[in-house]
Amino acid sequence: MTTPARLVLASKSPARTKLLSDAGIAHSILVSDVDEDAVSAAAGPLTPAETALLLARAKAEAVAADMSDGLVVGCDSVFEFDGEPYGKPWEAAVALERWQLMRGKSGVLHTGHWLINAAGGESVAHGEINSAVVHFEDVSDAEILAYVATGEPLQVAGGFTIDGLAGAFISGVDGDPHTVVGLSISTLRRLLAKTGVSITELWA
């Protein structure tokens, strides 16, 4: 199989593209137009981890459909707290309520990865879920209000970012910290290997 010339990230997440850049992985960005709510609804009941993988696959396939060659990786993250899936809060009131529930406790961040290698006209795909337990500090109401007011938690899974302002509110992570950011580089390496590509070939 011919080694593809490029990796395409099917995500508009600045955190994911920064992870790839910091890891020395050359890539470009093509954002899919996947309706996440519609895809999830059509699939029926799923666990939070299964939902993350389903949406990662949908994003990768949507972008790969317009490509005749190359690699596409799609990712999606879902935060699980007390057995319930927590997506993006979108609204300040929702983020505030969630943080009041989460403080001093722990939850699991699931990130689904789906890689498609369309090199040489062939299409090979592999997926993997990577999960990490996130432990939160027992932060005060004032700290939560100040954090929500920044707007940072509104458009991220679970309402927090470990690589941003909320890093001060996270006491530890059991698992790959990159998973919490939204893309596990070690998981990407394994998926690339399954399609016959070494991650070193993508180093810029």
Residues annotated as catalytic are 76
The DSSP element (H or E) to which 57 belongs, if any, is helix 48-64
Which is it for the CA torsion 47, 52, 58, 61, positive or negative? Answer: negative
Instruction: Give, in degrees to the nearest 5, the angle at Cα 37 between 163 and 44.
Output: 115
Cβ atoms within 10 Å of 91's Cβ, excluding its own: 11
CB 48 within 8 A of CB 77: no
